[in-house]
Structure 1
Amino acid sequence: MSNNRTCYVHCNVLNIHTGDWIENCSISICDDKIAGIGSDHCLPKDKTKVVDATGLWAIPGLIDAHVHLCDEVEPALLDEFDLSEPKEQSLQRAVRNVRQALSTGITTLRDVGSADARSIWVRENLSRHLDAVPTILSAGNIITYTDGHCAAIAIEVSNKQEIYDAVKKNADAGADLIKVTNDPEDDEAQGRGSDPTLSVNQLGYLVEIADSFGLPVACHTFPSVEGVRRAMLAGCHTIEHAVPLNNDLVTELETSSSILVPTVSAAIDEFPLNDVINNFPGGELTPAHKTFFNTNVARDRHSPLRPGGAPVSVKEWLKRISTFLPVGLKNDNIAFAVGTDAGCMGTNFRSAPREIFFLNEFGASTLKALQFGTIGGAKALGLDNVGSIEVGKNADILFFDSNPLMDLTTLTRPQMVLVKGYQIPDGELNNESFN
């Protein structure tokens, strides 16, 4: 370390745990860590670069717990599903995606699966093209049941030996977590699953083997009661695309250690924009709604991983979200994290603020929604060095010209973004419009 010190003075600093602001405060940074927080006279002055942050509001860098780093947002460019694609091409795509994330203040990303485990190699090579690299966790190869979701690019398993071999392959490749997909049916999601899906015992064995390698498990399950329940009972660390689907399931989740990652943004992006607007719960859209709906242009896109298109109508899907998600979001005993599915189904890498907005819209308080995208994400990823502005943690800090807890659209206009102490150049920030 070079022992470079920078002090951002006269700003308001958010205690993300309580929602309180420390006013007219200064943040001292040494290299990539936060070295001090307090009044100006408490911070080192010798050989310290001072940055005037008067009147700015500082919050922790955002965390997106569900992305596909090597995937392409544009519908016409689907090379990521070509297993013969050169890794350098995947790397260039990932560089674009990371730059987009950093432009909006997303400083930690969890990649939840890629073709040929290439996201692990990409993670290790991003620094060749970027001055600052966010904290990135990579899952490597997706694991699925026979003919399951993402089978075209996944490792298919049907018995214990295959499960063990698949987990070990990812662990040996340097994965930070294991991603498994499982889509069992129930009465509320007819036609979505297929046999044979993974049983609770099989999922539990996968979790056990992953744990023996020191790896948590993220389980994709299309939101069905049975899918979420199996992942929960098996002890999966996070449940992806999870929307609590009835009151009984909410009661079970209260005593579970699993963290839910709803990915509302991706679900909405799966449908044409006008269809979403016309069926969005609550009637007429506010300017805030329009700000976040304009972040992406949802397309009539059918992914090669979902040849039949969306499994339910936009009206039915929005009804499910608005009926069942609030029950979980308003329950303090159920943990959530922000995830967007960026790179998939047209969802871009600037979508974490949208997800925070939608979680607030569907029942979480403004503070809780922001916590899901910061300390909640850190918990989901098992990281203790990100998610809050505290001494010793990574200097991942966002500065805004107004209080984001008063207006979440403020998250679309960062004035400064620090990732591990490096300040993203002003010209690379997305601070004018989210459209």
Structure 2
Amino acid sequence: MQVIRAARLFDGDKTVLAGEPAVIVEDGRVVSVRHDGAVPSGAELVDLGDATLLPGLIDAHVHLAFDAGADPVGALAARDDAQALEGMRAAARTALAAGITTVRDLGDRGYLGLLLRAEFARDPAAGPHLLTAGPPITTTRGHCWYLGGEADGVEGVRAAVRARAERGVDVIKIMASGGELTPGTHSHIPQYGIDELRAAVDEARRLDLPVSAHAHAGQAIADAVEAGVDSVEHCSFFTEDGVGAMPEVIERLVRTGVVVSATLGAVPGGTIPPRIVARMAALTDLFARLRQAGATIVFGTDAGIGPPKPHDVLPHAIGMAVRMFGWPPLEALRAVTSLPARLCRLDRRKGRLAPGMDADILAVAGDPLADPAALFDVRAVFRLGHRIR
């Protein structure tokens, strides 16, 4: 038995404790959370002093196969599978060292993420809990076609969903619109229509898999919501030259409970594409509108797609939400703990410090509920009770 004690604790939901709270851990699970910091007889004490304990963070949208370099697509194309897998392994460990104990990989090449998932399941201290989509489903020459997920038409999409289920993926990722990393596609233009998206959702439901839709274009978002996806990645309502929120789509999104996976987080000084910079004010207004409407919002960084987005970038998303969007720190922290755990169907294991949950724990100096910058001063990271930092 292990007792992990600090000056403060945030449980991942709404509870904040002070006065030397402690988490009691046994066999990789949380046994109890104590308010008084008392140590049971015979237990090993890990006293972290003036630190805050919180659940390991969850990044709801990463790409471990992309190297966060200036040309992530070209770099991946130049690697064979063994080299790509080694790069993914290193990226995952970078995330874990920052306290990101669960990552949802929404697009790899050749199902390499499944190999890594099995590897980390055998040795939890080696990497984060990994959820993987395999190659995202996309149209011929559509966004991220080079990852190997091309499928056209209703029957083609159904077959693609079945193929991923047979491989054992955790989530279906479908590219409802074009994207920024693929010349010849455009973020403001849909790729699939409502029939293909409904086919993807229907087949995934039959196979008990959630569906995540990449969607920048307003019509693509509308169709994805109408089709019944579980989450919309980006949800940026891009037009050809700006951002055009669609109130009726936002209202339906909220009413049906579709989760918005907001793409936040960039390292300071990183070069962000000018077309994105030009839309930042409008995107800030959009996400304020989504929040005010009552949308469930989680943070996914899109880590790996360029230099501003290394695989440990998630703490920057929390600071961005507080500084730019005016979110209370507690709300921003829920968007990387309990809320994405629910989206990822892990809420009985991850995202909270409570009895029965996995002992995935982050400890940081200071108080991130007062200043999110505290998240960068990592004092300890535990993965299923194993201390890896």
Count of aligned positions: 374
Residues 351-370 of structure 1 mapped to structure 2, 5 A cutoff: 351-360=313-322, 361-370=324-333
- CA distance, structure 2, for counterparts of residue 78 and residue 206 of structure 1: 26
Whether 1:114 aligns to 2:78 is no
Matched residue SS, 1:66? strand
Residues 370-385 of structure 1 mapped to structure 2, 5 A cutoff: 370-384=333-347, 385=349
* TM-score normalized by the length of structure 1: 0.79
1:135 to 105, 119, 129: 129
- CA distance, structure 1, for counterparts of residue 246 and residue 376 of structure 2: 33
Give the C-alpha shift of residue 95 in structure 1: 1.9
2:170 to 168, 176, 201: 176
Whether 1:11 aligns to 2:23 is no
- CA distance, structure 2, for counterparts of residue 152 and residue 20 of structure 1: 45
Q: Which amino acid in the other structure matches residue 227 of structure 2?
A: A
Give the C-alpha shift of residue 78 in structure 1: 4.6
Whether 1:239 aligns to 2:232 is yes
CA 1:330/1:261 → structure 2, altered by over 3 Å: closer, same or farther?
same
- CA distance, structure 2, for counterparts of residue 19 and residue 128 of structure 1: 33
Q: Which amino acid in the other structure matches residue 67 of structure 1?
A: V
* Contact kept in structure 2, 1:104 and 1:413, CA below 8 Å: no
Give the structure 1 partner of residue 367 of structure 2: 403
CA 1:16/1:424 → structure 2, altered by over 3 Å: closer, same or farther?
same
- CA distance, structure 1, for counterparts of residue 84 and residue 196 of structure 2: 32
Give the structure 1 partner of residue 200 of structure 2: 206
CA 1:401/1:246 → structure 2, altered by over 3 Å: closer, same or farther?
same
- CA distance, structure 2, for counterparts of residue 15 and residue 41 of structure 1: 15
* Contact kept in structure 2, 1:101 and 1:107, CA below 8 Å: yes
* Contact kept in structure 1, 2:11 and 2:55, CA below 8 Å: no
* Contact kept in structure 2, 1:160 and 1:202, CA below 8 Å: yes
Q: Which amino acid in the other structure matches residue 326 of structure 1?
A: A
Matched residue SS, 1:157? coil
Give the C-alpha shift of residue 334 in structure 1: 0.8
Give the C-alpha shift of residue 11 in structure 1: 3.3
- CA distance, structure 2, for counterparts of residue 42 and residue 376 of structure 1: 30
Residues 135-174 of structure 1 mapped to structure 2, 5 A cutoff: 135-174=129-168
* Contact kept in structure 2, 1:184 and 1:226, CA below 8 Å: no
* Contact kept in structure 2, 1:9 and 1:25, CA below 8 Å: yes
Residues 295-374 of structure 1 mapped to structure 2, 5 A cutoff: 297-298=270-271, 313-331=275-293, 333-346=294-307, 347-360=309-322, 361-374=324-337
Deviations 1:107-155 (A, max 9, x none): 0000001112222122223478874331110001210123321122232
* Contact kept in structure 2, 1:12 and 1:23, CA below 8 Å: yes
Give the structure 2 partner of residue 272 of structure 1: none
Q: Which amino acid in the other structure matches residue 271 of structure 2?
A: A
Matched residue SS, 1:88? helix
- CA distance, structure 1, for counterparts of residue 201 and residue 115 of structure 2: 24
Give the structure 1 partner of residue 63 of structure 2: 68
* Contact kept in structure 2, 1:11 and 1:56, CA below 8 Å: yes
Matched residue SS, 1:388? coil
CA 1:243/1:314 → structure 2, altered by over 3 Å: closer, same or farther?
closer
Between 393-402 and 35-44, report the one with greater CA deviation: 35-44
Q: Which amino acid in the other structure matches residue 60 of structure 1?
A: P
- CA distance, structure 1, for counterparts of residue 31 and residue 338 of structure 2: 19
Give the C-alpha shift of residue 318 in structure 1: 0.9
CA 1:180/1:41 → structure 2, altered by over 3 Å: closer, same or farther?
closer
Deviations 1:347-385 (A, max 9, x none): 101111111222222243221111001011101211120
Residues 169-318 of structure 1 mapped to structure 2, 5 A cutoff: 169-183=163-177, 192-193=187-188, 197-222=191-216, 224-243=217-236, 245-265=245-265, 293-294=268-269, 297-298=270-271, 313-318=275-280
* Contact kept in structure 1, 2:98 and 2:378, CA below 8 Å: yes
Matched residue SS, 2:7? strand
Whether 1:124 aligns to 2:87 is no
Deviations 1:153-181 (A, max 9, x none): 23222222211211111111111111100
- CA distance, structure 2, for counterparts of residue 130 and residue 37 of structure 1: 22
Percent identical among aligned pairs is 24
Give the C-alpha shift of residue 10 in structure 1: 5.0
- CA distance, structure 2, for counterparts of residue 380 and residue 349 of structure 1: 20
* Contact kept in structure 1, 2:48 and 2:379, CA below 8 Å: no
Give the C-alpha shift of residue 103 in structure 1: 1.8
Matched residue SS, 1:378? helix
* Contact kept in structure 2, 1:338 and 1:372, CA below 8 Å: yes
Q: Which amino acid in the other structure matches residue 92 of structure 1?
A: E
Q: Which amino acid in the other structure matches residue 156 of structure 1?
A: E
Whether 1:389 aligns to 2:353 is yes
CA 1:37/1:126 → structure 2, altered by over 3 Å: closer, same or farther?
closer
Q: CA RMSD in A?
A: 2.5
